[in-house]
Structure 1
Amino acid sequence: MSYCAIILAAGKGHRYSKTIPKQYTVFDNELIINYSLKIFSEINTIKKIILVINKPQFTKFKDRVYRNKKITIIQGGKERKDSVFLALSRLQRANYKKILIHDAARPFLKKKLLNKIIKFSKKNEAVIPYTSNTDTIVFKNKILDRKKVLSIQTPQCFSYKKIFFLHKEYKNKKFSDESSLYFYKNLKVKKILGDYDNIKITIKKDLNNDKKISYGIGYDIHKLEKDYKLYLGGIYIPYSMGTVGHSDGDPVIHALIDSLLGSKKLGDIGTLFPNNKKFKNKRSTFFLKKVINFIEAKNIKINNIDINIIAQKPNLKKYKNIISKNLAKICNVSENQISVKGKTTDRLGNVGKNKAIACEVISSVTNN
């Protein structure tokens, strides 16, 4: 099933700033708009992305906006609904069955939620993420049941034909987002739990990063011998030798696990997965998935991971991006949050003599 994403970035955002629109604000060395563009670009089922912009604003920042072959840029309309309609109209001759519509001002969207929406959209005409309210809700001096009051998020996913038809039907009426059209018509909508981190940036305080950042360091080294397979970052590397270990001897994942656990003083890989029969010859990806579930259950969020693979041979140049993509998928983060580098020791020591491969990892995490 083919998907197209519409990312809305034509708003002026006066509540945020009268000078720089929020989507072009820099957060953690990246434009807000780029977070959405990158995460949607990483999803293989999304074949096209339409970025809707306000040209005078965009012109000032165009050199810093992320681009690739998937992304088409169009001028937006006067209001949000006009911008969506222009993008939908652009797709009339295309063959996209499903449309994802997302606000560029939601930079903290996680790949896990995006994939979840796509999964449910295969059997549902409309899928929207929501979060429950924790505050007391009052309407006309009456307290409402907050369990029944939902906050709707984006991205939202719809059948292309249906949402385009509804847009045409309600073209002269005001509505806040596309889910409103389904509710107006009392049509079936699949509501799924969203993510409280997936906030829409409205005022500058929304970007205040007052959460404590923690760092962890991990290091591992395994000797190389013939008749063993070589796995680095969960990827099989064809080579005449492989790493020796109780599991598959993957020094990248072992160092990564220790850095994640160490960042919050949660022990180490040997404590969680001791050298016994239970874990003998297990793939290291098995351990990493367990650790990711473990830290997510503790509400720990990965900010970024910096990996340094130290090996004289083999040359890892063509494998670095593959390793990065694989680890991003397992860790439920975007690829731009993981850096993979390859280094040699200039033939010094056991690594330099091609007797071992080592890896060091630094991870940054926060508590949600």
Structure 2
Amino acid sequence: MAAVKASPSPSPCPKLFGAGQGIGRVSRAALCKPASTFNLLSIKSQPKRSPISIARFDREDEDGVVACKASPSTVTFTTKDASPPALPFRIGHGFDLHRLEPNLPLIIGGINIPHDRGCEAHSDGDVLLHCIVDAILGALGLPDIGQIFPDTDPKWKGATSSVFVKEAVRLMHEAGYELGNLDATLILQRPKLSPHKEVIQSNLCALLGASSSVINIKAKTHEKVDSLGENRSIAAHT
């Protein structure tokens, strides 16, 4: 799984966009309530203050409200007339599997792992990076890696999968999110990945711009069952 979280914003409330504005007195406590709970005609200030004075809107039952440019005694409200605010966290799942063939490089997490077999693929066949990309894209509600980087496009032939990761990270930041945490499981019978996990994790931190504390990698065999257990394929879940 990969979790993306909304990037910190300097504004005191979620940012919404819309048409209409009103100005009045309101307490800080009221300011921190979710925008969807505001009622333009009933917000009250702290005791001993007069009720808020604010312009009436024609679509008050449909519009949300957001506060901006707040001072200790005055706040400007803007009605919402568009999409809801971004969720603070979103979760995405990624999966990839490739056949292993003799005399091909085995790239996992951007690291060349010594082995007598490697992944047969249109790009470099890095199952770990591919499923990480899909997890990020899924968390953002975007098309999968095969749609954004189709294997029918010759420019991706033999491409380094770090290119795909960097684009997924760019899209994540563009949408106002950053990586919350990532938990990945690799499934392969051979070779053992224990000696390589630290360098793989370090490379993922560099590619994702994240701390090692939020990136976890596990490796499992497939108990000699089916193509994974017979060293004929490799898979990854994120």
Query: Which interval holds the TM-score relative to the shorter structure?
Result: 0.5 to 0.7
Q: Percent identity?
A: 34
The structure-2 alpha-carbon separation of the partners of 1:239 and 1:133, relative to structure 1 and needing over 3 Å to count, comes to closer
Q: Is the CA contact (8 Å cut-off) linking 2:140 and 2:172 kept in structure 1?
A: no
Find the residue that maps to 2:114 and give its secondary structure: coil
Q: Please list every run of 5 or more consecutive structure 2 residues that lacks an aligned counterpart in the other structure.
A: 1-6, 13-85
Q: What per-residue deviation string (whole Å, max 9, x for no partner) do you get for residues 232-274 of structure 1?
A: 0111101111011000001001111101111121111011101
Q: Name the CA distance, whole Å, in 1 between partners of 2:186 and 2:159.
A: 21
The aligned runs of 1:27-42 (5 Å cut-off) are none
SS of residue paired to 1:314: coil
Residue 323 of structure 1: which of 192, 200, 213 is its match? 200
Q: Structure 1 residues 331 and 352, CA, compared in 2 at 3 Å: closer, same or farther?
A: same
Q: Which of 223, 228, 236 lines up with 2:104 in the alignment?
A: 228
TM-score, normalization by structure 2: 0.63
Deviation for aligned residue 1:134 = 6.6
2:129 corresponds to: 253
The alignment yields a C-alpha RMSD, in angstroms, of 2.0
Q: Paired residue for 2:147, among 261, 271, 277? A: 271
The runs of 4+ residues in structure 1 deviating greater than 4 Å are 132-135
The one-letter amino acid of 1:289's match is K
Which among 154, 161, 168 is matched to residue 291 of structure 1? 168
Q: Distance in 2 between matches of 1:350 and 1:256?
A: 22
Higher helix share: 1
In the TM superposition, residue 133 of structure 1 has moved relative to its aligned partner by: 7.5
Are 1:230 and 1:236, in contact at CA under 8 Å, matched by a contact in 2?
A: yes
Partners of 2:218 and 2:11 in 1: how far apart? 43
Q: Which residue of 2 aligns with 1:356?
A: 233
Q: Give, as a single letter, the amino acid of the residue that structure 1 aligns with 2:110.
A: G
Structure 1: gaps (5+ residues)? 1-109, 111-131, 136-209, 362-368
| Alignment partner, residue 184 of structure 2 | 307
Q: TM-score, normalised by structure 1?
A: 0.41
Q: Hey, what's the Cα distance between the residues in 1 that align with 2:215 and 2:160?
A: 21
Name the count of aligned residue pairs.
Answer: 157
Q: 1:229 to 1:300 in 2, by over 3 A?
A: same
Alpha carbons of structure 1 residues 269 and 133: separation in structure 2 relative to 1, 3 Å: closer
Q: What is the deviation of 1:212?
A: 2.8
| Cα displacement string for residues 151-185 of structure 1 (whole angstroms, at most 9, x for unaligned residues) | xxxxxxxxxxxxxxxxxxxxxxxxxxxxxxxxxxx
Query: Retained in 2: the 8 A contact 1:304–1:338?
Result: yes
Shift of 1:322: 1.0
Q: For 1:8-62, what per-residue CA distance to the aligned partner results, in whole angstroms no more than 9, with x for missing partners?
A: xxxxxxxxxxxxxxxxxxxxxxxxxxxxxxxxxxxxxxxxxxxxxxxxxxxxxxx
Distance 1:347 1:290, change over 3 A: same
Q: Name 2:118's counterpart in structure 1.
A: 242
The reply on whether 1:214 has 2:53 as its aligned counterpart is: no
Opposite residue 137 of structure 2, the aligned amino acid is: L
Bigger Rg, which one: 2
| TM-superposed deviation, 1:303 | 0.4
Measure, in 2, the Cα distance between the counterparts of 1:314 and 1:323: 14
Q: Distance in 1 between matches of 2:220 and 2:94?
A: 16
How many Å separate the matches in 2 of 1:327 and 1:303?
14
**1:321/1:340 contact within 8 Å kept:** no
Q: Distance in 2 between matches of 1:134 and 1:315?
A: 48
Q: 1:338 aligns to what?
A: 215
In 2: Cα distance, 1:344 partner to 1:260 partner: 25
The 1-side partners of 2:237 and 2:185 are apart by 5
SS in 2 for 1:247: coil
